[in-house]
Copies of this chain bind each other. A is one copy, B any other.
Amino acid sequence: MSEEIAVVAGDGIGREVVPPAVDVLDALDRGFEFVEADAGDAVLEATGDPLPEETYDLVASADATLFGSVGESAADVILPLREAVDSFVNVRPAKAYPGVDALRPETDLVFLRENSEGVYKGIESKLTADVSTLTRVVTTSASERLAEYACDYAPEGFTVAHKANVMRETDGRFLDAVEGVADERGVETERALMDALAMHLCLRPEEYDVVVCPNLAGDVLSDLAAGLVGGLGLLPSANVGPERGVFEPVHGTAPDIAGEGVANPCAAILSAAMLLDFLGYGADADRVRDAVEAVLEDGPRTPDLGGDAGTDDVAAAVLDEL
Interface residues of A (CB under 8 A from B): 74-75, 79, 103-104, 119-120, 124-126, 129-141, 163, 165-170, 172-173, 194-196, 198-203, 216, 219-224, 226-228, 230-232
CA distance A257 to B163 in the complex (A): 25
Residues of the B chain whose Cβ atoms lie less than 8 Å from the Cβ of A173: 126, 132
Copies in the complex: 2
Distance (whole angstroms) from the CB of A100 to the closest CB of chain B:
12
Distance (whole angstroms) from the CB of A117 to the closest CB of chain B:
9
Residues of the B chain whose Cβ atoms lie less than 8 Å from the Cβ of A169: 124-126, 132, 134
Let me know if A166 and B119 touch, CB within 8 A: yes
CA distance A76 to B216 in the complex (A): 24
Let me know if B202 and A220 touch, CB within 8 A: no
Distance (whole angstroms) from the CB of A259 to the closest CB of chain B:
22
Let me know if B119 and A130 touch, CB within 8 A: no
Let me know if A140 and B133 touch, CB within 8 A: no
Known: A134-B135, A135-B135. A223 touches B203 (CB 8 A): no
CA distance A118 to B120 in the complex (A): 15
CA distance A169 to B120 in the complex (A): 12
Distance (whole angstroms) from the CB of A122 to the closest CB of chain B:
8
Distance (whole angstroms) from the CB of A204 to the closest CB of chain B:
9
Residues of the B chain whose Cβ atoms lie less than 8 Å from the Cβ of A126: 169, 173
Distance (whole angstroms) from the CB of A163 to the closest CB of chain B:
7
Q: In this complex, what residue of B is CB-closest to A72?
A: B165
Distance (whole angstroms) from the CB of A55 to the closest CB of chain B:
20
Residues of the B chain whose Cβ atoms lie less than 8 Å from the Cβ of A231: 199, 203
Distance (whole angstroms) from the CB of A171 to the closest CB of chain B:
8
Residues of the B chain whose Cβ atoms lie less than 8 Å from the Cβ of A140: 129-131
Residues of the B chain whose Cβ atoms lie less than 8 Å from the Cβ of A132: 137-139, 169-170, 172-173
